[in-house]
Amino acid sequence: AQVDTLALTLANLASSRIAPDEAQVIEAELKAGRVGFSPDNRDQLLRLKATVERSRRLAGDFSDGVLVQLAARAETLGRALGVAPHAIRVFAEGEIRGHLVFQLAKLASTLLRRLRAQLAQPPWDVLVTGHATGRFTPATVLGELSPGAEPLVVLLAQAEGDEEIPAGVAGIILAHELPHLSHLGVRARQAGVIFVSCEESALTEDLRRHAGRWVLLHATPEGVQLGPAADTQTAARPQSVAAMSIPAVQLRPQASVLPVEKILPSTGGNKADGARRLLELAARRDADFTAPAGLVVPFGVMEQALRSDSKLHAHYSALVGCVNELPPGEFAAATVQLRELVARLPVPDEIKAAVVREFGRARRLAVRSSANSEDLPHLAGAGLHESVIGVAAESVAQAVSTVWASLWTERAAASRRQASIPHEAAHMAVLIQPLVEPELSFILHTVNPVSHNPRECYVELVVGLGETLASAAARGTPYRLLCDKESGRTTLLAFASFSHELEVQPDGRLVERRVDYSRFPFTTDAALRAKLGARLAIMASFLERAFGVPQDVEGVVRGEEIILVQSRPQQGIPHSA
């Protein structure tokens, strides 16, 4: 009955022209999910849960929009008219509570509680296990926190998935869902930061009562506990970070652009070298995947361009030499200046000519960073630098310039400073590959990142391009699979609930397209999910044997084809090699 009421509420909203496209799609998903529904079928319950989560997000987005439009105006007008402050505060809230969307939010929240109870799922989602002690600190975003003398357990309102975790943060409780394998999740595992999310807003609000107190956050695959720390004197303090070494590189390139088959880590970085190794592995008879060819702008080409302009080179070197000594505001401004300087560098004409010869003028490209400070066993560097997706051959020089300049994104520079990596030791190569337009994109960890069970690989998938998954800028959850590498058995952990997929238009623009999961085979066909999961389990074992350590893999699915675009050492897992 509650599901029927929810569907009727959505139909009413659509008729009222309130998010009509989204409301209609969610209503269609609810109706499709009712066909043959059994409360004893776990997959069907998980599918319904994803749709209800989408409903609650619609209500939340509408409420946020009302607050943005009304709250500030009500504040200004109320003060001018002498209205009591408490009356001003409840004006916008009253507008929401009197609206049908408030009933949608209540229905969705009630249904989610029932579904979690039926699925025996806690409201917590554990991304990184362990325990952390620190002062409980509510924050809107990680960027507002400053490194201090004491460890922090942070209640975080918002995360986009690409942030750097400030030194001193021992634990994070995030007040919304986040893909486990997003860049932020990878960084937390790398740094050993305990990380959980909570989808129950009433619970996260209740946690605020701990603000300013010392707490112990304990997270296991089975659940989460938060309570007063028994002894703040023994709490771990932030430790000084030892200087982290990164590989030396060759800065005398053979040419301005090389085929990926000729690349080594010292000439093109670990990401480009990983692409080379995937291409070699894909040629083996026992490989159940393909990999794209590629070109690489090797280390040293950017430096040659810098040396070609002595005045620009001198300005660049002076900024690099002093940037770490600058206060936060000036540090950020200096990184902007450095990016602007790099963006002025000439990109050799032979790069475009080689791209046209290799891929043609019509093919869209992915132009990616391959720095010597990323994709390392001890340092992932996930999301620190830029990738440019959907690039035309005519625009490849501009894309290469953008990737070079991303050596100086504020988050990349801050990450090097935090890890005590000398800026002058960091160099940027560029990997250029044909863009694969997928049905599904996925990130796979060959060892379960939560339980560390080596027999299980963990996969998150989204419809369309994988940027939705890696950056986690969009709200929602991906498909989640747990695959047994010995038996091939696949356990579905969650259905996708993102409202949009990302796709590339013929002109290269990235656009959002609304997803109706009731029409998408991976949602509706359990046999298809089981078949793909079994293939990914075999592939995970294959890659672990080939690379010698657990892997963090990015790839896409197109029809029956699995295409791998990246493989690097998995973070947060002890490596044997």
pLDDT greater at residue 67 or residue 199: 199
Q: Distance from first CA to last CA of the chain, Å, rounded? A: 56
pLDDT per position as a tens digit, 107-149? 888 899 899 999 998 889 899 999 999 999 999 999 888 877 7
Answer whether 253's CB lies under 8 Å from 301's CB: yes
pLDDT greater at residue 548 or residue 245: 548
Half-sphere exposure in the Cβ direction for 299 (13 Å, CA): 25
Answer whether 552's CB lies under 8 Å from 374's CB: no
Least trusted range by pLDDT, from 54-68, 364-378, 440-454: 54-68
CA atoms of 514 and 29, how far apart (whole Å): 13
Confidence of residue 488 (pLDDT cuts 50, 70, 90): very high
The DSSP letter of residue 464 is B
Q: Give the model's pLDDT for residue 317.
A: 94
Q: Give the model's pLDDT for residue 79.
A: 80
- Return the structure tokens found at 284: 């083996």
Q: Which residues pair with 501 in a beta bridge?
A: 513
pLDDT per position as a tens digit, 189-243? 888 899 999 878 888 899 999 999 999 999 998 889 999 987 554 444 444 444 5
CA atoms of 364 and 388, how far apart (whole Å): 11
Place of tokens 């860049």: 183
**Mean pLDDT score, 241-259:** 84
pLDDT per position as a tens digit, 14-29? 888 888 999 999 999 9
pLDDT at 71 over 90: no
Strands (E), 246-311: 258-259, 295-297
Enclosing H/E stretch for 116: helix 100-119
Answer whether 154's CB lies under 8 Å from 211's CB: no
Answer whether 490's CB lies under 8 Å from 514's CB: no
Answer whether 471's CB lies under 8 Å from 183's CB: yes
Task: Identify the CA nearest to 296 among candidates 279, 315, 318.
Answer: 279
Q: Give the model's pLDDT for residue 239.
A: 44
Q: Give the model's pLDDT for residue 574.
A: 67
Enclosing H/E stretch for 511: strand 510-514
Answer whether 294's CB lies under 8 Å from 432's CB: yes
CA atoms of 2 and 107, how far apart (whole Å): 7
pLDDT at 158 over 80: yes
- Return the structure tokens found at 498: 């993102």
**Mean pLDDT score, 557-569:** 94
Q: Give the model's pLDDT for residue 467.
A: 86
Among 1-5, 7-11, 102-106, 396-400, the range with the most confident prediction by mean pLDDT is 396-400
Bridge-based pairing state of the strands 152-156 and 130-139: parallel
Task: Identify the CA nearest to 70 among candidates 55, 56, 91, 86.
Answer: 91
- Side-by-side strand order, sheet with 561-569: 490-494, 479-484, 456-463, 440-445, 551-558, 561-569
CA atoms of 486 and 206, how far apart (whole Å): 43
Mean pLDDT of the chain: 89
Instruction: Give pairs for 348-352: CB < 8 Å, separation 24+.
Output: 348/256, 348/257, 348/301, 348/305, 349/397, 350/255, 350/256, 350/257, 351/256, 351/257, 351/295, 351/297, 351/396, 351/397, 351/400, 352/393, 352/394, 352/396, 352/397
Confidence of residue 102 (pLDDT cuts 50, 70, 90): confident
Bridge-based pairing state of the strands 388-391 and 428-434: unpaired
Answer whether 350's CB lies under 8 Å from 256's CB: yes
Kindly list the distances between the CA atom of residue 540 and the CA atoms of 31, 53, 141, 543, in Å, as whole numbers in the listed order. 36, 31, 35, 5
Kindly list the distances between the CA atom of residue 291 and the CA atoms of 114, 224, 235, 277, 361, in Å, as whole numbers in the listed order. 44, 40, 47, 9, 21
pLDDT per position as a tens digit, 293-315? 999 999 999 999 999 999 999 99
Annotated catalytic sites, by residue?
183
Half-sphere exposure in the Cβ direction for 175 (13 Å, CA): 18
Least trusted range by pLDDT, from 73-87, 320-334, 365-379: 73-87
Burial annotation 181-199 (CB, 10 A radius, 16+ → b, else e): bbbbbbbbbbbebbbbbbb
Burial annotation 152-180 (CB, 10 A radius, 16+ → b, else e): bbbbbeebbbbbbbbbbbbbbbbbbbbbb
